[in-house]
């Protein structure tokens, strides 16, 4: 029986971006840590695209917002850059060009019938505050952030009713202080946990300032955006469940609980104390956190985190890391986005099926569409290398097949296996593909009239399929 979903009358259909990702660095008085990182390591950025232009939103916001209106959106979330708005970082004095720009963006958003939602921090701390004070390691920086937030509230709070303090603050902890995927790429568990606390404190202090200024009147609300990555245990064994709980506490509940409940998980506090990496905090600071919880929660979900009890030997040479308490579990049969490293819906050929049976079944199960397979469009290995049709020497342990098919019957619908189904235009598909050689192949695939393109996986050796399909 098909399900019918009716969205509430005031449901937000929106688009989200951030200042650092969209505006470009035109007329900015300060550099962020990301701006500086690009200067010293441009190869770390995709296609060496840096902050000079990004999406050119600084110059094209009118056209961009008009397009959002055209496609029927009713809300728009972006961020106000600390490095743009504030001229004097110590006093919070604003920059005149930034006032003009953000006023224009907000007014244009409202003019186009959309609700503006403003975030205050998207990984963009001024680099000079990192160099001078250690960035989020410093509680003085926390207080400077409050001055920035106060400036933003006073300037724009008359029109912006929805605010968020941080976007994905755990990424600052992970990327900058634990796992080295963001500048300054430190590995320091003690500093990481102090940063974690300070970010929570900063969020609570901003919320307090928001209410102190009366921004919560006339419908004003403030929240936080968290990337919640639930930890799924390998099994229901006591050891696996404990390991998953620790991962959840560190990566999810460390921000979720203070934001919603006003306190940190007791199990997390005990763990950090046992390992000598507990943050420094005063009773007054804990009181601020307890009294200033959020009005709403934004959730970004990307992929699951799969956890098992610790089986590998932990390397103590770099000090404490969360990985001391668990190992990541590589679940057999998982479906992956091979270009991002994230799990995603796809198809797995089952025992006893041939490829045509398998792809026909999987497409129907996930989309409700019955298909007729017409052409094998591509063959790939589990090592992300292209095989082609006639290479009979390469034998991968896992094979990925792309097929072209036509729709026979049925209509797109959600299923137990897929909560998001839809049709993509040719331009969108090509834009999603990064590798040039795949893009060229995709052009041929997309020109196939009335097509359904679908990918299935098989763990059986390549040779099983070679003679019949390749």
Q: Are strands 231-233 and 305-308 parallel, antiparallel or unpaired?
A: parallel
Note the pLDDT tens digit of each residue in 268-304.
Answer: 999 999 999 999 999 999 999 999 999 999 999 988 8
pLDDT score of 3: 77
**Residue pair 336/343 in contact by the 8 Å Cβ criterion:** yes
Q: Topology of 14-328 in CATH?
A: TIM Barrel (3.20.20)
Q: Do domains 14-328 and 336-469 have the same CATH topology?
A: no
In the chain, how many H helices and how many E strands?
17, 17
pLDDT score of 22: 96
- Please determine, looking at this structure, whether the domain spanning 336-469 carries the CATH number 3.10.450: no
| Domain edges within the chain | 14-328, 336-469
HEC secondary structure over 190-210: HHHHHHHHHHHHHHHHHHHHH
Q: Which of 409, 402, 403, 405 is nearest to 449 (CA)?
A: 405
Backbone angles phi, psi at 60, to 5 degrees: -115, 15
Q: Are strands 336-337 and 305-308 parallel, antiparallel or unpaired?
A: unpaired
Backbone angles phi, psi at 119, to 5 degrees: -100, 150
Residues lower than pLDDT 50 in the chain: 344-346, 382-397, 419, 459, 462, 470
Chain position carrying tokens 């049925």: 410
Q: How many CB atoms lie within 10 A of CB 227?
A: 19
Chain position carrying tokens 């298909």: 371
Give the separation between CA 229 and CA 239, rounded to whole angstroms: 20
111 is written with which tokens? 């003019």
362 is written with which tokens? 């999987």
Chain position carrying tokens 């695939």: 445
Give the separation between CA 421 and CA 302, rounded to whole angstroms: 16
Give the separation between CA 293 and CA 163, rounded to whole angstroms: 13
The residues facing 308 across adjacent strands are 327
Q: Beta-strand (E) ranges in 195-313?
A: 221-227, 231-233, 296-300, 305-308
Give the separation between CA 299 and CA 260, rounded to whole angstroms: 13
pLDDT score of 386: 38
pLDDT score of 390: 39
**Which residues, in sequence order, are CB contacts of 340 under 8 Å at separation 6+?**
none
Give the separation between CA 235 and CA 228, rounded to whole angstroms: 21
**Residue pair 366/347 in contact by the 8 Å Cβ criterion:** yes
251 is written with which tokens? 């990566």
324 is written with which tokens? 């001391």
């Amino acid at each position: 029986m098909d399900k019918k979903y009716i969205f509430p009358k005031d449901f937000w259909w929106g688009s989200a971006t951030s200042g650092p990702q969209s505006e470009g660095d035109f007329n900015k008085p300060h550099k962020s840590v990301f701006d500086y990182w690009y200067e010293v390591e441009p190869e770390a950025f995709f296609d060496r695209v840096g902050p000079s232009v990004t999406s050119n939103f600084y110059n094209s916001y009118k056209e961009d917002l008009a397009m959002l209106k055209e496609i029927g959106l009713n809300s728009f979330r972006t961020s106000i850059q600390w490095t743009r708005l504030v001229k004097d970082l110590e006093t919070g004095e604003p920059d005149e060009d930034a006032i003009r720009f953000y006023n224009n963006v907000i007014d244009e958003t409202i003019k186009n019938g959309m609700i503006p939602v403003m975030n205050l921090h998207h990984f963009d701390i001024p680099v000079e505050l990192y160099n001078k004070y250690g960035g989020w390691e410093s509680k003085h920086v926390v207080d400077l952030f409050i001055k920035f937030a106060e400036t933003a509230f006073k300037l724009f709070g008359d029109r912006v009713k929805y605010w968020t303090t941080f976007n994905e603050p755990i990424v600052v902890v992970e990327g900058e202080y634990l796992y080295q995927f963001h500048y300054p790429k430190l590995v320091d568990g003690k500093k990481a946990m102090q940063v974690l606390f300070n970010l929570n404190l900063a969020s609570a202090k901003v919320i307090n300032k928001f209410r102190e200024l009366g921004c919560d009147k006339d419908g004003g609300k403030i929240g936080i955006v968290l990337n919640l990555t639930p930890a799924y245990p390998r099994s229901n064994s006591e050891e696996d469940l404990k390991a998953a709980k620790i991962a959840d506490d560190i990566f999810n509940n460390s921000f979720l609980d203070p934001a919603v409940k006003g306190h940190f998980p007791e199990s997390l506090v005990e763990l950090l104390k046992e390992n000598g990496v507990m943050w420094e905090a005063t009773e007054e600071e804990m009181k601020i956190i307890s009294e200033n919880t959020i009005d709403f929660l934004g959730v970004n979900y990307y992929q699951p985190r799969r956890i098992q009890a610790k089986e590998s030997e932990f390397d103590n040479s770099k000090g404490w890391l969360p990985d001391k308490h668990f190992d990541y579990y590589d679940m057999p049969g998982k479906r992956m986005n091979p270009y991002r490293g994230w799990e995603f819906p796809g198809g797995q050929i089952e025992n006893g099926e041939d490829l045509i049976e398998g792809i026909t079944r999987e497409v129907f199960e996930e989309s409700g569409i019955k298909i007729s397979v017409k052409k094998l469009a591509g063959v790939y290995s589990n090592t992300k290398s292209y095989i082609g049709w006639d290479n009979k020497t390469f034998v991968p342990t896992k094979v990925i097949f792309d097929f072209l098919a036509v729709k026979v019957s049925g209509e797109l619908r959600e299923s137990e296996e897929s909560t998001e189904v839809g049709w993509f235009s040719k331009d969108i598909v090509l834009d999603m593909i990064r590798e040039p050689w795949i893009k060229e192949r995709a052009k041929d695939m997309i020109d196939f009239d009335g097509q359904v393109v679908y990918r299935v996986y098989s763990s059986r050796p390549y040779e099983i399929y070679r003679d019949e399909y390749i």
